[in-house]
């Protein structure tokens, strides 16, 4: 296997894993805020906590872009 192919694929997988973990923990923290609001029987509007997006963590797009570039270079490069 080619070094660039492996590096590109690993970076793409790490980007997806990092994004999934960050999004999951963000959803959990949002649920905790809402649960605390409801359990305290507070009056007023329910807080709207935003879930992290794709570009909120700088490493996710960086790893994805670098991985795609390395993978394309690795697959198109002649051995």
Query: Which residue stretches of 1-79 are H helix?
Result: 3-39, 59-76
Distance CA 63, CA 79 (A): 25
* Mean pLDDT (whole number) for 28-49: 72
pLDDT at 42 over 70: no
Which pLDDT score, from 0 to 100, does residue 53 have?
Answer: 78
Q: Give the pLDDT confidence score for residue 8 in this predicted structure.
A: 94
Distances 20 to 4, 23, 26, 37, 45 between C-alpha atoms, Å: 24, 5, 10, 26, 29
> CA 57, CA 66: separation in Å to the nearest integer?
15
Q: Is the pTM of this model over 0.85?
A: no
Q: What is the arithmetic mean of pLDDT over 2-25?
A: 92
Confidence band (pLDDT; 50, 70, 90) for 71? Answer: very high
User: Quick one: CA dihedral 7, 8, 11, 12, positive or negative?
Assistant: negative
């Amino acid at each position: 296997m080619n070094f660039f192919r492996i590096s590109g694929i690993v970076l793409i997988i790490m980007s997806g894993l990092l994004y999934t973990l960050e999004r999951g923990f963000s959803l959990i923290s949002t649920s905790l805020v809402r649960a605390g609001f409801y359990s305290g029987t507070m009056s007023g509007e329910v807080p709207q906590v935003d879930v992290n997006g794709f570009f909120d963590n700088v490493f996710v797009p960086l790893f994805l872009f670098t991985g795609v570039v390395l993978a394309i270079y690795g697959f198109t490069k002649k051995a």
